[in-house]
Every structure is written in structure tokens, then in C-alpha cells.
Amino acid sequence: MDQATNEIVTFYQDRYEEASRLERRPQSRLERIRTLELLREMLPPAPATVLDVGGGPGAYARELLADGYHVRLVDLVPGHVAQARAGDPPIDAVVGDARSLPEPDSSQDATLLLGPLYHLQDAADRVRALREAIRVTRPGGPILAAAISRFAGPVDLLASARFGDHVLADAERLLGTGVNDPAIGFTHAYFHRVAELTAECREAGLADVVIHGIEGPGWSAAEAALHGPHAEATFDGALRLARLLSADPDVVAASAHLLVTATAPDR
């Protein structure tokens, strides 16, 4: 395991509680609702087999199990795998790396990569992970992969009243590199531009590529309104906008997270 990978594992094992993340903030609630809606729209009917790569403690895997899918979870972090196995219902989960999946060729009806891409800072590693998803997915099966927008960090800090000169300086650096600085929060990560994400998907060989903005352009308004009298109305409006503008290419980059929907090509 290289140093960056080891530091990512340590971050999630010792410093960050992923299990409750999707319930903590308006942005995260929007992420959860819209991701589930897109999964249910794009996945083949249950009881299809779904490989959830980078599935963490199993938030989406459990929802899919409840829908009748056969789900296997692969995650880099041993603590996440333990949580997935120990939850209710327990999930078939193993420790593994998105760049080298422990699954046979064409063994899955669908594959999810809802975490790995934004923790792989090298483009070749991201393409390798996408190609692994193609390898294990039957031809024509859906592949869904999440990324973080290049603009999510500074917008988030502005919406939550944490903006300042240091944020602006780092945002300027981030615009050019896309590489997160672990010294100022989060861990090793890469933040995408839409065109770049699309190019990586095509280089990997994915077919039928569409990029969605998961939370939509109103997520930051929902964050800013959190403690005010219009919090729920603003959240509801942000959700409705996210649904309306999900794949509009002019606004998808305004989302905090991006979701690739694609299919494994014929081989």
C-alpha cells in the first residue's frame, strides 16, 4: 500500500465517521436522496447482482438489499467493511482496491464506484478503476461512478460561513490542479472538471456516458438556509431543482458531486 492510500485508510479509520455522513447536512441529504433516485432509475430490475466498490459502511448497499438486489461491497478501509458486515441486514463485504477488483470478468449486472474516483489523484489510476468496473460488468450493464466537482470546496465553505482569504487562495490553486491539500481538511482527493471526467470515462472505454449533477445548483442555498426560518422550503426547492436540472450540461458542475451514468461496452 502506498503512502497516500495508507493515509486515506487512516483518515477513515481514525478521524472521520463516514457512517453518519449522509444524514448530517443539507448537502449530504440531497446527495443521498438523489443518488438513490438515480440508482433506482439506472439499475436493472432486482434481483440483479450489483458490485458496490468503495461502498463504505454500506449506506447504499443496504438500500439496494432492501430493494431485492444481490449486493457485494468492496472497500479499501477495513473498518468500513466490518461495519458493513455487522449492520442490519449484514452485507457481503470484502477489503479491496478499485484498481484491482477481486471479482471475475463479467460477473456483475451493474457496478457502482461511488467513492474511489475522488480518492485517486493520478488520472491513470482513475482510468484503471473505471476499466476494472468495465471488466467485472456484463456487456451492456450499467456502471455508475461519482466524482467531486472542482468547485465544491470553496462554495461549501462560503455557504457555511467559513470563507476567508485562505480559502480564496486555496481555491485559486485548486482551480489549476484539482488536487486537495490534506493539511487543510479532508484527505487525499481529486476534484474534477466535467470535461475532464468525461474524457477519462471515454479513455476507459465506457459507453453511453452521461454526467449528472447530484445535488443540483441549489445545494449551497440549502446549506446557507440551514438555521433560518426557510430551511425546509429551501431544501425542498433545491431537491426539485436537482431533479429538473440533473443532466443539464450548463449547470452540472455547480453540484458538489457529479455522477457518471454509463454502460459497459460489448467486448
Burial class (CB in 10 A: 0-12, 13-18, 19+), 79: middle
CATH number of 3-263: 3.40.50.150
C-alpha grid cell, residue 234: 429551501
**Which residue ranges make up each domain of the chain?**
3-263
Using one digit for the tens of pLDDT, what is the confidence trace for 139-180?
A: 999 999 999 999 998 898 889 888 888 888 888 998 999 999
Residue 267 pLDDT greater than 90, yes or no: no
Predicted local confidence at residue 141, as pLDDT:
98
What pTM did the predictor assign? 0.95
Using one digit for the tens of pLDDT, what is the confidence trace for 170-189?
A: 889 989 999 998 887 789 99
Q: How far is CA 32 from CA 109, 144, 166, in A?
A: 22, 14, 30
Predicted local confidence at residue 82, as pLDDT:
97
Q: What is the DSSP letter of 162?
A: -
> Dihedral sign, CA of 177, 155, 147, 254?
negative
